[in-house]
Amino acid sequence: NANLAPFRASQFDFAVEHYMGDSGLVSAALFWKEVDSFITNETKPEEVADQSGFTTGPVTRPVNGDGGNIKGFELGAQYAFDNGFGFIGNYTYSDSESPTESDLNSDLPIPGVAKNAFNGQVYYEGFGFDARLSYTWRDKSFERIFGFSDGAAGARAFEVWTARRTDRLPGVPELQADT
């Protein structure tokens, strides 16, 4: 769609990191983003051709978003122990505002921006293999306006668990098993 504007934002980030030797890190960051444009989806009733002529039905299309701002913070930590075990984790809080509104809601957030998100991983590396267990969680978020009743639709919170093992055999390329 040639009428879609690119994603544009002015932003400020401030981060502090503390390194623990070669093995670890703790970090904290503040961020502020003034979003000028973004692309979102909008569902509106439109006439579409069918076997009987035309029918009015829902059509979802990408459209230009109205801009807005996002402010928040991130916290992170990682550490690799001497015995091959380690962990990585981060948390992000994002508060967004946009001029988007509906008949039922005003001051809706920027679509797709969840207030809370967390990622964590524990791992082991040694004896010819790596094993990792990862967890990702993201809070619900606003996604788009439905043009039928001007109601707002959102994405549910979701979580994902991932387990991975990589074996290193002498003289054999790496084999991986993801679940």
pLDDT in tens, 5-61: 888 889 999 999 999 988 999 999 999 999 888 887 777 788 878 887 888 877 888
* 60-72 pLDDT per residue, tens: 888 887 788 999 9
Task: State yes or no: pLDDT of 173 exceeds 70.
Answer: no
- Strand ordering across the sheet containing 175-178: 8-20, 24-37, 68-80, 85-97, 116-126, 129-138, 158-167, 175-178
Q: Across the chain, what does the average pLDDT equal?
A: 84
Task: State yes or no: pLDDT of 150 exceeds 80.
Answer: no
Task: State yes or no: pLDDT of 147 exceeds 60.
Answer: no
Classify residue 114 by its DSSP letter.
Answer: -
Q: Which amino acid is at 73?
A: F
The C-alpha atoms of residue 33 and residue 14 are separated, in whole angstroms, by 12
- Report the pLDDT value the prediction gives residue 86, as an integer from 0 to 100: 97
